[in-house]
A and B are shown apart, each in its own frame.
Chain A
Amino acid sequence: MKLIWKFFKSIRLTIYLCVIYIILSLWGSFSLQIDGDLYKTIDNEVLFNWLRQTGRPAINKTSWIFLLIINIVFLGINTLVCTIDRLANIWKRVFNRNLNIQIEFLNSLKFRSEKIAEGDPEVIKNVILTQLHRKGYNTITSVPDKQQTTDNACPRIIIYADKNCFFAFAEVIVHFAFILLLLGHLITSIYGSKSIDNVAWKNYKTVIPNKTFSVLLHDINMRFYPSGQPEDFSADIGIIKDNNEVTRKVIKINYPLFYDGNVVYLTNLGYDQSANWPYAVLTVNSDPGAKFVLWAGIFFMIGLLGTFFVTYRRIWIFITSLENGQIEIKAGAWINQTGYKMDKELENII
């Protein structure tokens, strides 16, 4: 079990899966070109239905989609395991503000700065704290006379400071959103439904296959530019359930009608020349995963904002009174991004 967990938490696995995804997508985009006829109906059906009815019989040509799905499942598991694994560390980092650290830890940090000063360590501590507070850091400080560490017998004050610490969870939000997105798409791919080319005649009820309601077309409206290109087209429709009109809306492209988990789209309209009677062509989809996908998108953007545009910083500062009466100030910092300006910030602080 541990081995499986270790396998799936690896960021190296993420990289390999991304590379495989890219290769499969390349294969797929060319397959869509070469076998265009095979994929004609893929957008008119729910994915898993299409895979069952069209994809599986032509497995030699559509195997890239199956491999892509397997790859995405692995990517989803990898993301989930990696996120859970990192969550514990992030939690510890944010809520366990540990001052019981050794000089070796400070020396292992990427960003470091040090200085020798003279004066009262308490005054130096207060100056540094003021600087940190001015820059928006939250701080905690150790008591000097109790801080006798193994590596140095001199009295030492340790300051810990962090900034934007809750943004450490931003990457978790991104990964959570990615899993939600996959989940939403999976739900739609299994439980969704699509009904295309439903012709609704004016003043007639149109029965939609496999739905408990029908659609009544009240009227249509078309406007054209002087050039003859369509400017606007719309259809006034009502939803009929148990012989009652339960809702009514003028639908047009970009403005479909939402009813009871179903979406009614206007895809075409016109006049039948032989009957001299207006009609509208409707698509009725049920997309139970769409809400998940929408929320995933929102969370994804929020998470990315926090991950890329807010820097979460942690600083440790050791103020040590040396035997010769001087004060040694050593600082080290950790930052969640490649913090090229962090050196300067440390220098400013101490």
Chain B
Amino acid sequence: MDKLFLYFFSVSLVLAGIGSSASITFFAFPRKSLLNILKHILFVTLFTYSVSLILRTILCRYAPMTGLFESLFFFGWSICFMCFIVWLRFGETFFLPFSFPMLFLLTLKAYFSSWKINPLFPALKTIWFALHVSTSFLAYSIFLIGFGGGACYLLKSASRYSDVLPERDKMDFITYRASAWGFFLFTFSMFAGGIWAYLAWCNYFIWTPKEIWSILLWTFYAFYLHARLLNEWSGKRCAWLGILGFIFTMFTYLGVSLLMKSSHSL
């Protein structure tokens, strides 16, 4: 089983690498065919990543979301899954050149982290923990799509990309929907986390940088969604907000955990 997991996870890493190379090629030589290739790579990567996830769950007998390796691994799977869902819903793949490099970096970092299966700490043996973490990563992943949507919106003004990327209105709409879904998932994540913290840690809110940044991120997207209600906050401004939102997301996930002292782990 260990070897099988290693096999599928390694294949996922290779596929993410190929996807990243195709993404970089797309930025240099934008072609619609490259987006089509990325779409097919996504399908295969989602398959291999999903098999790896199932195998890891069987191996460790809990939802694999604890520690650095598992959180990076689950984040990687979430990116594939949410990209697939957005493609299914809107039939668009323009955000993939931004998703694949991120997926590759996360998978690569996971690959070189410790894979050791640690016994589950008693506090983590609750459905609220699994719900809190899984919805967080799904939200982060869809914020990444919002980032890709925003960036593509801005790229559209460059003539070389104008024929390859979809209409601006469509990209704007998908970026907005991605942020709305992400906001919903992230709110649920905070709600589940609050219940878990209340039952396990005696408080539904504790004053640590991770919690403060989580609320900051939530407020940022609340601000973004309200800003869209005003007519003048659309188009380029919202595209920049989508980009900035993901920068906040990554700092909340990795920056706070790695650079700041916090009792809240990854």
Query: Interface of A with B (CB < 8 Å)?
Result: 11-12, 14-15, 18-19, 21-22, 25-26, 28-29, 32-33, 36, 39, 42-43, 185, 194, 196, 225, 227, 229-233, 252-256, 263, 265, 267, 283, 285, 287, 290, 293-294, 297, 300-301, 304-305, 308-309, 338, 340
Contacts and interface: CB of A to CB of B under 8 A. Distances in A.
A265 B122 contact: no
Interface string B174-204: 0011001101100110010011101110111
6 contacts: A15-B230, A254-B122, A283-B202, A285-B203, A301-B191, A338-B173
B128 to A, nearest CB: 8
Contact of B207 (A15, A42, A300, A309): A42
A105 B194 CA distance: 46
Given A254-B122, A293-B204, A25 B216 contact: yes
A314 to B, nearest CB: 17
Contacts of A293: 194, 204
Interface in B118-138: 118-119, 121-123, 125-126, 128
Contacts of A43: 203, 206-207
Given A25-B219, A253-B200, A230 B121 contact: yes
A42 B211 CA distance: 14
Contacts of A304: 183-184, 187
Contact of B226 (A15, A267, A340): A15
Nearest to A184: B204
B227 interface: yes
Interface string B229-264: 110010000000000000000000000100011000
Interface of B: 118-119, 121-123, 125-126, 128, 169-170, 172-173, 176-177, 180-181, 183-184, 187-188, 191, 194-196, 198-200, 202-209, 212-213, 215-216, 219-220, 222-223, 226-230, 233, 256, 260-261
B92 to A, nearest CB: 12
A43 B210 CA distance: 14
B219 A18 contact: yes
A199 B44 CA distance: 56
Given A32-B209, A300-B187, A301-B191, A232 B122 contact: yes
Contacts of A308: 180-181, 183-184
Contacts, number: 117
Nearest to A25: B216
A285 B202 contact: yes
Contacts of B213: 25, 29
B159 to A, nearest CB: 25
Chain B interface helix/strand/loop/mixed: helix
Contact of B261 (A36, A254, A285): A36
Given A29-B260, A33-B260, A283-B202, 5 more contacts: A22-B220, A229-B119, A267-B202, A304-B187, A338-B173
Nearest to A39: B207
B119 A225 contact: yes
A267 B203 CA distance: 12
Nearest to A229: B119
A11 B191 contact: no
B207 to A, nearest CB: 5
B255 to A, nearest CB: 10
Contact of A18 (B184, B222, B260): B222
B220 A18 contact: yes
B226 to A, nearest CB: 5
B219 A254 contact: no
A32 B223 contact: no
Contacts of B176: 338
Contacts of B184: 301, 304-305, 308-309
Contacts of A18: 219-220, 222-223, 226
Contacts of A25: 212-213, 215-216, 219
Given A230-B121, A254-B199, A301-B188, A33 B261 contact: yes
Contacts of B212: 25, 28-29, 32
A28 B262 CA distance: 13
Contacts of A309: 184
B227 A15 contact: yes
A301 B135 CA distance: 13
Contacts of A185: 205
Given A36-B261, A340-B173, A11 B207 contact: no
B15 to A, nearest CB: 32
B74 to A, nearest CB: 21
A175 to B, nearest CB: 11
Given A15-B227, A36-B261, A230-B121, A254 B202 contact: no
A32 B208 contact: yes
A15 B191 contact: no
